[in-house]
Amino acid sequence: MTETEQGWVKVFAPASIANLGPGFDALGVALEGLGDTIQARRTETPGVRIVEMTGEKESIPADPAQNCAGRAAESVLKQLKGKAAREAGLEMKLHKGLPQGSGLGSSAASAVGGAVAAHLLFGSALGSNTLIEAALEGEVLASGGRHADNLAASLLGGFTIVRSHEPIDVIRLELPSAMRFVVVLPGMEIRTSYARSVLPEMIPLKDAAGNWANTAALVAAVARGNVADFGRAVVDRIVEPVRAKLIPGFADVKKAALETGAHGCSISGAGPALFAVATAETAERVALAMQAAFQRHGLPSRHFVCPPDNRGARRLD
């Protein structure tokens, strides 16, 4: 008998790049081929239990109340009506496809996977904005802040704009399939909560104006399907200059990407991963140049070349 027949559902939730340069806490894209897989089934015992964790699970708590996937699933169960909410129980297996603290939306992928698995198992009536709210309960555990940029991209796929957090309001666009995101992950971790604590409370108006101009340009590039214009708009005058100091060799790695043909390069989410905007022709060359630059600063790294994931979180079985 297959696991599906025994009542398991299997959900994949993709990794994502948030901010994309100028769009701090607003913009995100989902990445094909990287992400978390979550299996869940109903149990007689009410509540959520995590029965197995595999993959890049280091330092991830198995207590569901402290685990992004577990907490997001709990939040979905709480929203069931009456008796169903009191009696609902599920157990889950979590396969982490990417490490925590990478800047690739690892906690968001877990939270989205947990929320979607619970939603499917119990046939909840939640819409996508409410599922993002539920996943946010999980994401807050890891990042210490209520931002849904990675969650929206992982749930919906493509290019997402979180235009409001209270209430959640998300706009989604398709990304050109010719696009390639080069992601280079150095062998270090940055806690999102720390990367947020170093940001300024006040910013000069001219920097704000630069960022919203480029944010608008990014959206226009997506609407037109223009990869080069997308890369050209990856310009962040506010967050990148501050967080760059947390990543050894940042300036050299970015320079290496642009010199080998990338259209743009910045920090992925809260880092330490960097992303570059490329095409299938340039992607490997860009990735190797970025890795060599990190190595010159004593940092080993790994790279991924990802097309956009225009599907978002999905059932695999």
Cβ nearer to ligand HSE, comparing 25 with 284: 25
192 is a contact residue toward ligand HSE (CB under 6 A)? yes
Is residue 143 a contact residue for ligand HSE (CB under 6 A)? Answer: yes
- Whether 139 sits among the annotated catalytic residues: the reply is yes
CA-nearest of 270, 229, 258 to 100 is: 270
Q: Which is nearer to ligand HSE, 67 or 143 (CB)?
A: 143
Give me the phi and psi of 251, to 5 degrees please: -60, -40
Place of tokens 């995590």: 50
Using N-to-C axis directions, what is the helix angle for 149-156 and 128-143, rounded to 10°? 130
Distance of CA 285 to the CA centre of its chain: 24
Residue (90 or 111) nearer to ligand HSE, CB: 111
In angstroms, the Cα distances linking 164 to 137, 171, 314 are 16, 10, 24
Residue span binding ligand HSE (CB under 6 A) among the ranges 76-84, 120-128, 147-155, 257-265: 147-155
Q: Is the peptide bond before 272 cis (omega within 30 degrees of 0)?
A: yes
**Min separation Cβ 155 and ligand HSE, Å:** 15
- Rounded CA-CA distance 153/28 in Å is 5
In the residue annotation, 5 being an active-site residue is answered as: no
Residue 160 pairs in a beta bridge with 28, 172
Task: Identify residues 5-64 at the interface with ligand HSE (CB under 6 A).
Answer: 18-19, 24-25
Shortest spacing between CB 56 and ligand HSE, in angstroms: 17
- Which window, 89-97, 141-149, 162-170, 282-290, contacts ligand HSE (CB under 6 A)? 141-149
Interacting residue with ligand HSE among 32, 91, 149, 240 (CB under 6 A): 149
Nearer to ligand HSE, 75 or 192 (CB): 192
Asked if 160 interacts with ligand HSE (CB under 6 A), we say no
Token pair of 261, please? 């043909």
Contacts of residue 224, defined as CB under 8 A and 6 or more positions apart, other chains included, come to none
CB of 289 to ligand HSE, least distance (A): 25
The one catalytic residue in 192, 215, 260, 282 is 192
The values of phi and psi at residue 84, to 5°, are -55, -40
Tokens of 235: 């310009």
d(CA 209, CA 263): 22
> Per CB under 6 A, does 110 bind ligand HSE?
no
Segment interacting with ligand HSE (CB under 6 A) among 87-95, 112-120, 143-151, 202-210? 143-151
Report the residue number, 18 or 118, with the smaller CB distance to ligand HSE. Answer: 18
Q: By three-state DSSP, how is residue 199 classified?
A: coil
Return the number of the residue (91 or 139) whose C-beta is nearest ligand HSE: 139
Pairing between β-strand 27-42 and β-strand 47-55 as defined by DSSP bridges: unpaired
Report the nearest approach of ligand HSE to the CB of residue 309 (Å): 17
| Alpha carbon distances (Å) from 49 to 71, 75, 90, 286 | 10, 13, 6, 43
Where does this chain bind ligand HSE (CB under 6 A)?
Answer: 18-19, 24-25, 143, 147, 149-150, 192, 195-196, 269-270
Catalytic annotation, residues = 139, 192
